[in-house]
Structures are given as C-alpha cells and as structure tokens.
Amino acid sequence: MTILVLGSSGQLARHLRNVLPGAKFCGRDTLDLGEPAAVAAKIEAMRPSAIVNAAAYTAVDAAEAEPTVAARVNAESVAAAARAATALDVPFVHVSTDYVFDGLKGSGYTPQDATNPQSVYGATKLAGELAARALCKKCSILRVSWVFSEHGANFLTTMLRLAATRDELRVVADQRGRPTYAGDLAAVIAALLRRADDPKPLPYGTYHAVGGPSVSRREFADRIVEQAFELGLIAKRVPVRAVTTAEYPTPARRPANGALEPSVELEQVLGIAMDWQKGLTAALTALRA
C-alpha cells in the first residue's frame, strides 16, 4: 500500500518527493486529469493507502477562455478522485485556493467564511472542494495562496528573472494575501498523512495552510528582491514600483484581499508552524546553492 500523488512535476509535487519518498507520483502521461471519466477506475486499480491531489489547472487567465478544460481538471477529476478514495476507504488530501473568495472582506478569510469566486479558475476550484466534501468523508482540504518555491515558474522565480534584466519592476500593490511556501505545504501534507491513524488525528475538514503576515504583491516582490540581492542572486537591488490592478488588467479577476487566516490546528496538532518569510529564505538559499 502506497500514497498516490496526483501530479509529478509541479512545485508542490517536487517538494512532496522529499517528504513522501515511497509515494507513487502520477503525471499526465499516467493519469490525465483532463479525462475525468477514467480517473476513478485508474486510481482504484492502484489501490493506494491515501490520495493527495497536488495537480490542478492553475493558468488563471487562460481558464477564462477554457472553462470546460479547467472544470474537467479542477472539479470533475477531483470528484472522481474523491469517489475512488471512498471506494477504497482511504484519506483524500485536496489542495485548493484563496480564489474561492471574492476578496471584498476587510480582514482575513477563515474556513467558515462564505465563498464567492470571481473567476473561472476560482469557480472550478470551489466546485472541486464541494465535490470532495460531498463524496468523501475522509477528505482534508488545504487552501493556499500565492504558492511559491525554488522550483518551476511561480511569482518568486518570475521576479528573479525580471530583476536580472530590468531596471525597475512594476507590481500591483492593491492585492493582498499570505503566500504559501510549497515546502511548508508538503510538510503539512506529510504530517497529516502520518497522523491519519493517530488516536487524536487532525479532524477531516477545510484548513488554511498559510502563515506569516499579510502582504501586498508589491511588498512580497520587494522582499524577494531585497533578499535575493543580499544573497548575490541578482546583481542589483532593482526598485519595485507600486501599480494598481486597474493599471495592469488581466482576463481573470483576482481577489483584492486574498489573505487567508492561518488555521492554528496545523501547528497545534501537526506541529507545523508555517511562515512564508522563512519559506522565502529557504527557497532563495536553495536557489543560491
């Protein structure tokens, strides 16, 4: 019996390889979430001891033009995986997003707050959440925000690439959130699975896997540039200019306030203290190495 991870090459999957060494990782070539009709049967045939969904359609803007494709991956295949978990009677860990909220709340969002997605991406991720809860009693949903790491294409690596070639960065300052380091998220998932058979496990439910202060995207970018310069990853400390969302229009609407309130249970029960600031240092240090 092994843990099955849906996703094999994304930034979360790459960190999960370090903390779940015996897991089976399934990429698109093995289990295509774009074909939900086949997902449940393929998972059941593998007979895993737990299922982790680390894959998603994450092209937020492209989803506006491809709602059917996004729905297949983010909702229909999640439902199929949840059904398989129920048939096998195993835990199912699903990763979701702050985009399930509209971003209009004046303070951080809790797992109990009403959802109201404003984009196709957010709507399909919410549909995946609803399906997972309805179809699998052993389901844990971890909402994250602005996931970054030293691997792949993400906000951190994009800022570093631009800072190496430009004299100034322009980053929106009227969108706020709590970033999630993929390494921290992987540690939470591993701890969650280890405690599944514990006499006092973390109850199944929805949690916000974030930690550290709320920041704007511009503040996050400025912190990246500052630390990267100090570590010698970029030649100069490029100024980060604040712009508004209106000055940087995109097809999909982003939550103005996507700050998730951290779920204290993750630290109290699992012993994982998430902090994006420490995660940023870890990611930049890994890149320097």
Task: Give catalytic residues, as residue numbers.
Answer: 121
Contact 164, 234 (CB under 8 A): yes
List, in sequence order, every residue forming a beta bridge with 257; answer none if it has no partner. Answer: 176
CB burial of residue 79 (10 Å; 0-12, 13-18, 19+): buried
State how far the Cα of 60 lies from the Cα of 45, in Å rounded to an integer. Answer: 32
What is the rounded distance in angstroms from the CA atom of residue 262 to the CA atom of residue 207? Answer: 8
Rounded Cα gap, residues 87 and 51, in angstroms:
12
Token pair for 208:
């916000």
Q: How far is the C-alpha of 162 from the C-alpha of 156, rounded, in Å?
A: 10
Structure tokens at 242: 């604040």
Find the helix or strand (DSSP H, E) in which 142 lies: strand 139-144
